[in-house]
Amino acid sequence: MEMPQPMNNAPTNVSFDHGGHEMFDMSEVLAGTVNVLDQYMMFRQYVQDQELLDILDRQYQHVLDGYNRMVEAFSTGQPPTQPYVPYQIKQTQPVVYGLGPTEPKKPNLSLADIKDKGISGHMLGLIKSSGSLLTMSAVEVTNPTLRRLMAQSVPCYIEMAYEIFLYQNKHRYYQVPQLTQQDMTQMLTSFTTVTGKPQMPQPKSMLQ
């Protein structure tokens, strides 16, 4: 049986300036980003609130643009041709603290039960997990261009997650309990700043 021959006709614009661990991490990051985009597309048909639809569309476009830049930087090892644009939250409002009465959560029994509360919850979970994966993977990347591009993307995922949280919090989908003022005061004052110059020990190599 004739064995397959290795392929030597790699595209000339492909960069091999990547470590082995980096290759696996990037494959996971890019596949995860595709998953976010696909699920956002599926979510769109169930969204009823115009504000949530606007958030979904803006975040979809930002994630898609970031995906294209990352694929380009991954394959070429060079800065992407499209400039980096940080994500901006369109609307902000104060966080509402405290717990109020809500209906107990339970699984949907049909597609007719899908509501904006559940869709926004799925969006938040996707963005938070993707941001965490991007952060953990970025510190394993050896290519400096790709590393910086991934590091730039992390704050955007934080902003997108916070935007979804604010939407959920405003509609009381995501409630935020607080500790008592006494407990918060205790914890807020349990650390203090350092004054004076630390007396750092000498390395053992300098003491010999």
List, for residues 145-160, the tens digit of each pLDDT value: 889 999 999 999 999 9
Angle, nearest 10°, between helix axes 144-170 and 116-138?
160
pLDDT averaged over every residue in the chain = 90
Instruction: Check residue 108 and give its pLDDT.
Output: 92
Instruction: Check residue 3 and give its pLDDT.
Output: 52
Does the residue 53 lie in any domain? yes
List, for residues 36-84, the tens digit of each pLDDT value: 999 999 999 999 999 999 999 999 999 999 999 999 998 888 899 999 9
Does the residue 146 lie in any domain? yes
Does the residue 65 lie in any domain? yes
**Residue predicted with more confidence, 122 or 8:** 122
Does the residue 23 lie in any domain? yes
> Which residue, among 139, 36, 30, 37, has the nearest Cα to 74 in the 3D structure?
30
Does the residue 195 lie in any domain? no
Classify the C-alpha dihedral 60-118-53-55 as positive or negative: negative
Does the residue 35 lie in any domain? yes
Domain that holds residue 162: 12-91+114-174
List, for residues 111-147, the tens digit of each pLDDT value: 999 999 999 999 999 999 999 999 999 998 888 888 9
Q: How confident is the model at residue 23 (pLDDT cuts 50, 70, 90)?
A: confident
Instruction: Check residue 204 and give its pLDDT.
Output: 79
Question: What is the domain-level CATH number for residue 45?
Answer: 1.20.1260.10
Instruction: Check residue 10 and give its pLDDT.
Output: 45
Percent pLDDT > 90 in the chain is: 70
Does residue 21 carry a pLDDT above 90?
Answer: no
Kindly state the average pLDDT of the residues 161-177.
97
Does residue 171 carry a pLDDT above 90?
Answer: yes
Instruction: Check residue 102 and give its pLDDT.
Output: 87
Domains in the chain, number: 1
Amino acid (one-letter) located at 70: M
Q: How confident is the model at residue 7 (pLDDT cuts 50, 70, 90)?
A: very low
Does the residue 103 lie in any domain? no
Kindly state the average pLDDT of the residues 154-178.
97
Does the residue 46 lie in any domain? yes
